[in-house]
Amino acid sequence: MKYLAKFITMIVALGAVMLPGQASAEKVMRVGSWLPPKHTMNKDVLPTWGKWISEATEGRVTLKIEYPGGHPKAMLGNVQDGVFDAAWTFHGYFPGRFKLTKIVELPGLGAGAEAASVAHWRINKKYLHKAGEHKGVILGALFTHGPGQIHLREPIASLKEMDGKKIRIGGGVQTDIANRMGVKGVAAPGSKVYEILSQGVADGVFMPMGEKRTLRLKEVAPFTMKFPTGMYLGSFGVFLNKDFLDSLSAQDRTAVLSVSGEKLSALAGRYWGEDVKVGEADAKASGNTIMEAPASVLKEFEALTEDMEGEWLKSVKDRNVDAKKALMELREIARSYE
């Protein structure tokens, strides 16, 4: 009888573990990442998201950052194939697939990364998602980096001097700007920028100011031409694997998504925006030259990019969304955001 009682107790305990709704217990969400651990995305954004997820699911789902995540171009496919449960990357690495995301990158938005990121999410939800550019993954957030600037090995005084220079280009709107400047584009992921600059493969790079510190641009590109609100912004996404989300209980799936979306978009934009200030201060302390773009350069840039909006609108006609209205509302949201 004693052994029978123990057996029954064991069966009851096992049954409790297997109760419906408990399938997602102790789930680890593996997030692939591709920039250095000290980068704000890995140091601040993803850990905070992980804290939110753990709190929202009462510890049943936790987040683990996995390095190295591989080439940023592989991130989307890795999430779709289940190599990672989630990942993040730059939309510009996928020319042709992501046309609508360039809406937030266009010059002249005049807003910081947090405001732009929130506007990006809201406009996608209202207008752009119906085009299906993110088909195959669950979109967890949309955000931008800080204002994109020109970082060079040698100083310039005008944009005419950019003609013929070898510049690392990541994709998106910065490619359009580079083409108009007449630069020779050098393709390389962000994680390889230090290497190609130190070896002289490239003369410079278009990136936000935060990368002066996190990617050590201060060592290999000590001159920066700084535009007041940047030349452009860069569009990024956080992507989740559908099968992973479906493996969670309905309660935990809802909880994970509740701390994603606009909330995660704002968080990422806020940290990337703050990273700009940290990067600039660090670059100056390291002896870098940060040159505020003079009126003559701003005039050059305005003339260089004046019809870019119209070109983008033409390029997304096949997406069957009201891109013009979406762009107008995005600017209204970003510029009025507090």
pLDDT tens for each residue of 275-330 = 999 999 999 999 999 999 999 999 999 999 999 999 999 999 999 999 999 999 99
Confidence class of residue 163 from pLDDT cuts 50, 70 and 90?
very high
* Cis peptide leading into residue 228 (ω within 30°): no
CATH architecture of the domain with residue range 25-144+234-275: 3-Layer(aba) Sandwich (3.40)
Positions of E strands within 209-246: 223-226, 235-240
- Same CATH topology for 25-144+234-275 and 148-232+282-336: the answer is yes
Strands 148-152 and 223-226: antiparallel
Length of the chain (residues): 338
Residue 86, amino acid: A
Give the span between the Cα atoms of 319 and 131, in whole angstroms.
Answer: 6
Contact by Cβ (8 Å): 40, 146: no
62 Cβ partners below 8 Å, 6+ apart? Answer: 26, 27, 28, 29, 50, 53, 54
Phi then psi dihedrals of residue 155, to 5 deg: -70, 155
Report which residue type is found at 290. Answer: I
Question: Does pLDDT of 1 surpass 70?
Answer: no
Residue 19 pLDDT exceeds 80 = no
- Tell me the one-letter amino acid at 28: V
Q: Locate the domains of the chain by residue range.
A: 25-144+234-275, 148-232+282-336
* Cα distance between residue 47 and residue 68, in whole Å: 16
Residues 77-125: pLDDT tens digits?
999 999 999 999 999 999 999 999 999 999 999 999 999 999 999 999 9
* Mean pLDDT, rounded, of the chain: 92
Pairwise CA distance, residues 5 & 335, whole Å: 69
Q: What is the pLDDT of residue 12?
A: 39
pLDDT of residue 223: 98
What mean pLDDT is predicted for residues 43-53?
98
Confidence at residue 4, expressed as pLDDT on a 0 to 100 scale: 42
Angular region, 26: left φ>0, alpha ψ -120 to 50, beta rest: left
> Domain 148-232+282-336 - what CATH class?
alpha beta
Average pLDDT over residues 156-184: 96
Q: What is the model's pLDDT at position 18?
A: 38
Q: Quick one: pLDDT band at residue 26, thresholds 50, 70, 90?
A: confident
